[in-house]
Structures are given as structure tokens and as C-alpha cells.
Amino acid sequence: MESDKCEEPLKGQTTIQDELPQGDQDVAEDKANNKWEEEMLEEESSHNGNGCSEDVDLKETDERHGNPSDVSSTSGNDRMQCWTYETEVRMKLQQEYRDLLARVKMEQEYEDLLEDIEGRWKKQILNWKLKLLKERWEHKQAHDALMEQLNQLEHDNNTLASKVHAYEEDSRKWVGQKNYLIEKLNATNTALAALEHDQVVVQDSAERKWEKEKNLLFS
């Protein structure tokens, strides 16, 4: 029967299991729709041709048996059922195709969202790295400045220590010179005191000698 033939899967019909072609979604959708329409037109033409020939054969056979009206009615019902079935299949396939496109679009939007999130995270991580590098550079600059100041302080301290050491050396020299001069002064004072003592002794001796001679002259 014609209804049995209509229930078989349509040759080359696109199903939800078929994979979408790669590339632009609009181009793929147009190609799929055009292919689907061509296949449906071919199937309809084939069914319509077969149906007409079968109707003529059935009508001629039933006319020989004396019941042409029943054959015509049965053939019309079969064509209506076949057309209803094809319409339902077509609508179902169209809905499945739209669902598939919607799912692909949703998956693409999800992938775009993931790429956007990943891109924002990469940008945030890059900003953190740049911030850390900047802070590290600033800390290094401050550390280098402090080290330079410390080196300058150590240099100044060494300079002062050298000056103090030189001053201490000079101080020791001056102390030694002072002690030498004090000793020399004491020796000079001692010699001067001895000379004064000798002078007094000589003067006393001369005065006594003079007194003695004077007494001898006037005696």
C-alpha cells in the first residue's frame, strides 16, 4: 500500500544525528534548508507520480469488479494520510533542526562566555604581575637607596675613625713633647737654683774675705 511506503524513512533526509557543516552558521543553515527542500520536493514528486498510477490501476481493477467509487475513496484517504504523515515528519524534522541550531548557538555562546571569562582572568593576572613587578622595582629602588646611605655612613665612620686615630697619635706625640719640655724645664730650674746657690756662696765668701782684709788694714 502507498501508506506503507510513506512510513519508511525518507532517503537522504537530514536528522538530528547529522553533524552541522563547519564554518559560518548562516551559510550552513541556508545550505541545509535548500538541500532539505530539494529532497522533499523530489520525494513529493515521486509519491505523487506513483500515487496517480496506482490509483488508475486500482480504479481499472475495481471497475471490472463493479466498485469504482470505493477505490477512488480509498486512494484519496491514502494520499491524505500520506500527506499528513509527511507534514508531521517535515514539521518534526524542522523542529529538531531548529532545536539543534539553538543548542549549537547556546554552546557557541557558552564557549564565547568561557573565552571572555578566560580573557578577563588572563588580563587580571597580567595586571597583578605588572603590579608585583612595579612594587618589586620600587622596593628595589628603596633598598638600593638605603644601601647607598649605609655605605656612605660606613665611609664617613671610617674617615672619622682615621681622624680620631691620627688625633690620638698627635695627642700622644704632644704629650711626649710636653713631658720632655717639663723635664727640661725642671732641669733648667734645678741648674738655675744651683747657680743661684753658688752665687750666694761665692758672694758670702767674697764679703767675708773683704771684711777680713779690711780689718787687717785698719788694725
In tens digits, the chain (219 residues) has pLDDT values of 443 444 444 444 444 344 444 445 555 566 666 666 666 666 655 554 444 444 444 444 444 444 444 444 556 677 778 888 888 888 888 888 888 888 888 888 888 888 888 888 988 999 999 999 999 999 999 999 999 999 999 999 999 999 999 988 888 888 888 889 999 899 898 988 888 888 887 777 777 778 777 777 776
Q: Is residue 87 part of a domain?
A: yes
Residue 92 located in a structural domain: yes
Q: What is the pLDDT of residue 115?
A: 87
Q: Are 2 and 79 in contact (CB under 8 A)?
A: yes
State how far the Cα of 150 lies from the Cα of 156, in Å rounded to an integer: 10
Is residue 58 within 8 Å of 71, Cβ to Cβ? Answer: yes
Q: Is residue 211 part of a domain?
A: no
Joined together, the cell numbers standing for residue 209 give 774675705
- Residue 137 included in any domain: no
**Predicted pLDDT of residue 160:** 92
Per-residue pLDDT at 49: 45
Q: Is residue 212 part of a domain?
A: no
What are the backbone dihedrals phi and psi of residue 122, each rounded to the nearest 5 degrees, phi first?
A: -60, -40
Q: Decide if 134 is inside a domain.
A: no
In which domain, by residue range, is 24 found? 2-117
Contact 82, 6 (CB under 8 A): yes
Q: Is 163 inside a domain boundary? A: no
The interaxial angle of helices 25-64 and 68-217, nearest 10 deg, is 170
* pLDDT value of residue 105: 84
Instruction: Return d(Cα 25, Cα 27) in angstroms, integer.
Output: 6
In angstroms, rounded to a whole number, what is the distance separating the alpha carbons of residues 153 and 145?
A: 12
Total domain count, the chain? 1
- Asked if the structure places residue 127 within a domain, the reply is no
Cα(6)–Cα(90) distance, integer angstroms: 12
Residues in the chain: 219
Write down the residue that cell numbers 573565552 correspond to.
115
Residue 84 contacts residue 4 (beta carbons within 8 Å)? no
| Cell digits of residue 191 | 741648674
